[in-house]
Amino acid sequence: MSSVPKYICPRCGAVGNRPATICPGSSLVQILFFFLGLVPGIIYTMWRVAATYQGCGRCGSNILIHTKSPMGQRLLLEWYDYEADDSD
């Protein structure tokens, strides 16, 4: 690795510089609810917006560990045999 990523997922080992924004549910279902009626569409949309979270873009886990932390260092070694330096 040429640059050290900021986050690592303990579930799947994915690394990245920022978490992904994950919105549960389906856009197609949301459109369907709006066709069925305004109230169900609004309720479903409000639920999707309220349940949106930052997480792993690969597996959807809401747990991401910073690679500068001791646990992040351990995960980098476990998944990639890579040790991040403490610069920055």
Digit-coded pLDDT (tens) for 27-82: 999 999 999 999 999 999 999 999 999 999 999 999 999 999 999 999 999 998 87
Query: Residues 77-87: pLDDT tens digits?
Result: 999 887 666 55
d(Cα 39, Cα 51) in Å, to the nearest integer?
A: 18
Amino acid at 82: Y
List the chain domain ranges: 1-19+56-81, 23-53
Q: What number of residues does the chain have?
A: 88
pLDDT value for 14: 93
